[in-house]
Homo-oligomer: A and B are copies of this chain.
């Protein structure tokens, strides 16, 4: 029985029940679920609920939870064995392919696992967290994993920044009051709860910023502002491209929001926060080996489709470019799988990905999709960006000629899909997320440099150069 697993429709209903304070383009939105700039992102989240009830996908989309003693939506579940890491990746690829965009629940999933292990062995924090998580699983909630603070001048530490870093401004017996902002908040306006976590490793003296806690998205003092996306005016119109599904990033403002003690998981424990941030980064950087290959499957399919419409699908350079697109796509996927397969179990019982390979994965995600998009633009042809509006193609007088000029209305739709992923609203949850999600490129290089065992490599090179005796193969 899947009592703990919502359907897509139950999810939509549950969103309407919230009293969310959301601004879009300078105006307060009363019904986010029905707003054309918001709805596509909700649809993408809804897919994560739908798949849990789809018999072809349920083995991936749900997972057994020891906490509640039954299967739950995988996006609320712990990684209890190595294969959970691999199944997560397969689920992400399926969803990425089905929606062609970001389905927004991975930050919550990765945050839940990172908090589970970071609170482990740290007193009653862990028990509070587990209790809270049980509720999330039972209600099958969508979480907004809130990490990134607005950094302003990067040369300054959090306490030197202005008021916008999220931090504790008051500690009461019954809870804490937090203030500040989180930016780049994926799917925030589509969530039930916000899981606040620190956005970076912190130092002694920065304890006020070492806060991890949970609160409803419509808690008193919370305001969200929708990020503007390229071509977002086309949402709900015929030029939208991927009309049904989209991504979402919000600014979330915390104007002295009270969080009751039960939902405060870390407060001032700088060390635990470091482990949290590091574990989250590992999970989330490997994640891109799942979702983005799924998105890229769609882009490849769209580019393939246009070449068929253009009658050039069998040209050797077209075949080679499509093969290259697939090659690079599978590269990302394979590295994500590799990072998962080399995972290790944490003392808390949760499995973690391989840190080096997770960073290798994400680092490629900051460049390979760009090359794949470039190839898609090559195959699409210039019409992708010079085509008149669909309104012109449907014009009573001009339409017939223009549809002929455009190579047909189907071709126009295929081009709009590519355009939306390369330049439109779809590019934010796709390309820009590839670049900056889970850390910008340099963040991965820093981790790689730190984690590689340089001395071991030098030591073996010295042996083979004849400078040192061989401790391993002296008998050969």
Contacts and interface: CB of A to CB of B under 8 A. Distances in A.
Contact of A336 (B319, B338, B473): B338
Contacts of A100: 460, 464
Main secondary structure of the interface of A (DSSP, over half): helix
A297 interface: yes
A200 interface: no
B461 A398 contact: no
Contacts of A389: 24-26, 228
Interface centre among A401, A414, A465 (most CB of B within 10 A): A465
6 contacts: A9-B475, A244-B470, A298-B460, A301-B458, A301-B460, A385-B428
Contacts of A34: none
Nearest to A391: B26
Given A26-B389, A385-B230, A466-B243, A404 B460 contact: no
A377 B435 contact: yes
A290 to B, nearest CB: 12
Report copies per complex: 4
Nearest to A334: B338
Q: Which of A241, A405, A461 has the most CB of B within 10 A?
A: A461
B298 A413 contact: no
Contact of A341 (B330, B340, B410, B454): B340
A337 to B, nearest CB: 4
A322 interface: yes
Contacts of A47: 473, 476
Interface string A437-458: 1001110010011001010111
A388 B225 contact: yes
Interface stretch (A63-71, A129-137, A207-215, A304-312): A304-312
Interface string A213-239: 000000000010111111101100001
A237 to B, nearest CB: 10
Interface stretch (A73-81, A156-164, A256-264): A156-164
A227 B338 contact: no
A334 B121 CA distance: 32
Given A8-B476, A465-B241, A465-B417, A297 B381 contact: no
Contact of A374 (B245, B367, B459): B367
A323 interface: yes
**Minimum-distance CB pairs A-B, first 8:** A301-B457, A26-B391, A301-B461, A334-B338, A341-B341, A382-B436, A316-B316, A337-B338
B405 A181 contact: yes
A62 interface: no
A113 interface: no
A86 interface: yes
B395 A331 contact: no
